[in-house]
C-alpha cells in the first residue's frame, strides 16, 4: 500500500481502538460477492475440470486485512482463507483472533502468493491506499482463470444530520474522499459489477469514540489535538437532539462493492 505510507501504516499504533470501533460488513454484501464468484467460476472451463477431478476447495484472499474485520466474513463454506496485511501489530491481532486463517505479510503491490492461486481477492477499506496499476497487475497475476477481485468500502451515511456533523469534527477520511462508487482498476483488470447495501451498526459511547480515534488522520495528530477532537465528539453526543437521550448510537452505513476480473 504505497499511496500514503505514513497514514496507511499508522493503524497498528491504535490497533485496540481499531478492533473495538471499526464496523464489520453486512451479510447481504458478502452473499452477493459469493454469488457473483460462484456464477463466474462455475462457468469457466478450468473450474469445471477442477470439480470433475474432485478439487473444490477455493482460496479466498483478503488484502490489507487489518485485524480481520472483513476476513472473518470469508470463513466457512469450506474455503481456504488467506489474510495479507503489512502492519505487524494488525497481523498479530488477526492471527490470534482467527486461528484458521493463513496470515501473511505483504501489500497489494507485492502479494506473497503463487501465480493463479486465488479464486477471490478482496480489498476492504484498503484499495484507496494502493498504487492502482501495480496492484491491478499483481491481483491479475494471483487470480485463477475466472477469479474475481472485490473492492469494498463502508461509508457513513451523511444524509443523517448528526453523522454529517460528526464528519465535520473528525474530517473526511481517505476512504470517504475516494471515489468508492467507480473505483479505478488498471489492465488487465476491468470492472464487471457494482452494488450498494444500506445498514446500521449500533455503537455504545466507548465504541464510537474508538471508531474516531482509530482513523489514520486522528492517529497522526499530536496528543492535545487528538484530545480536543474527542471532546468535540463527546459534546455532539451529549447535545445533539437526536443523540442526547441515547446510550447506543445507530451508525448508518452504505457498503459499496465493485467487482472486477481479468479481461479476455
The CATH number assigned to the domain holding 113 equals: 3.40.50.150
Please check whether residue 180 lies inside any domain of the structure: yes
Domain that holds residue 190: 5-158+172-202+254-262
- Each residue's pLDDT, cut to its tens digit, for the chain (264 residues) gives 444 444 444 444 479 899 999 999 999 999 999 999 986 544 444 444 444 334 468 999 999 999 999 999 999 989 999 999 999 999 999 999 999 999 999 999 999 999 999 999 999 999 999 999 999 999 999 999 999 999 999 999 999 999 999 999 998 888 899 999 999 999 999 999 999 999 999 999 999 999 999 988 898 899 999 999 999 999 999 999 999 999 999 999 999 999 999 998
Distance CA 138, CA 204 (A): 40
CA atoms within 13 A on the CB side of 139: 36
On whether residue 76 sits in a domain, the answer given is yes
Domain assignment of residue 185, yes or no: yes
Per the CB < 8 A criterion, the answer to whether 60 and 144 are in contact is no
CA–CA dist 212, 207 (Å, integer): 9
Residue 246 lies in a domain: no
pLDDT digits (tens, 9 = 90+) for 185-203: 999 999 999 999 999 999 9
DSSP 8-state symbol, 158: T
Pairwise CA distance, residues 208 & 156, whole Å: 12
Residue 238 forms part of a structural domain = no
In a domain, 30, yes or no: yes
Any idea what DSSP says for residue 193? E
Please report whether residue 108 resides in a domain. Answer: yes
Domain count, the chain: 1
Instruction: Give the strands of the sheet with 189-204, arranged side by side.
Output: 102-104, 80-84, 59-63, 118-124, 143-156, 248-262, 189-204
Dihedral Cα 93, 157, 261, 69, nearest 10 deg: 10
Q: Residues 27, 166, 22, CA angle at the centre, nearest 5°?
A: 35
Q: Is residue 212 part of a domain?
A: no
**118-143 burial string, b = 16+ CB within 10 Å, else e?**
bbbbbbbbbbbbbbbeebbebbbbbb
pLDDT given at position 193: 98
Cβ neighbors of 235 (< 8 A, separation 6 or more) are none
Q: What are the E-state strand segments in the chain? A: 59-63, 80-84, 102-104, 118-124, 143-156, 189-204, 248-262
Amino acid at each position: 500500500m504505497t499511496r500514503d505510507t505514513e497514514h496507511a501504516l499508522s493503524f497498528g499504533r491504535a490497533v485496540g481502538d481499531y478492533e473495538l470501533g471499526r464496523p464489520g460488513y453486512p451479510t447481504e454484501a458478502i452473499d452477493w460477492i459469493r454469488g457473483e464468484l460462484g456464477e463466474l467460476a462455475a462457468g469457466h472451463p478450468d473450474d469445471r475440470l477442477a470439480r470433475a477431478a474432485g478439487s473444490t476447495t477455493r482460496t479466498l484472499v483478503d488484502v490489507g486485512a487489518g485485524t480481520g474485520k472483513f476476513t472473518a466474513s470469508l470463513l466457512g463454506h469450506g474455503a481456504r482463507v488467506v489474510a495479507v496485511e503489512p502492519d505487524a501489530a494488525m497481523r498479530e491481532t488477526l492471527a490470534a483472533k482467527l486461528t484458521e486463517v493463513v496470515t501473511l505479510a505483504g501489500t497489494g503491490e507485492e502479494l506473497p502468493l503463487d501465480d493463479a492461486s486465488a479464486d477471490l481477492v478482496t480489498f476492504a477499506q484498503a484499495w484507496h491506499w494502493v498504487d492502482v496499476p501495480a496492484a491491478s497487475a499483481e491481483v491479475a497475476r494471483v487470480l485463477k482463470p475466472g477469479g474475481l477481485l472485490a473492492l469494498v468500502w463502508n461509508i457513513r451515511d451523511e444524509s443523517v444530520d448528526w453523522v454529517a456533523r460528526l464528519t465535520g469534527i473528525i474530517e473526511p477520511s481517505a476512504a470517504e474522499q475516494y471515489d468508492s462508487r467507480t473505483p479505478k482498476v488498471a489492465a488487465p483488470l476491468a470492472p464487471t459489477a457494482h452494488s450498494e447495501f444500506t445498514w446500521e451498526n449500533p455503537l455504545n459511547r466507548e465504541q464510537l469514540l474508538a471508531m474516531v480515534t482509530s482513523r489514520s488522520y486522528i492517529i497522526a495528530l499530536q496528543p492535545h489535538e487528538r484530545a480536543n477532537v474527542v471532546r468535540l465528539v463527546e459534546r455532539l453526543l451529549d447535545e445533539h437532539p437526536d443523540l442526547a437521550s441515547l446510550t447506543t448510537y445507530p451508525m448508518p452505513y452504505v457498503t459499496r462493492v465493485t467487482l472486477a476480473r481479468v479481461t479476455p
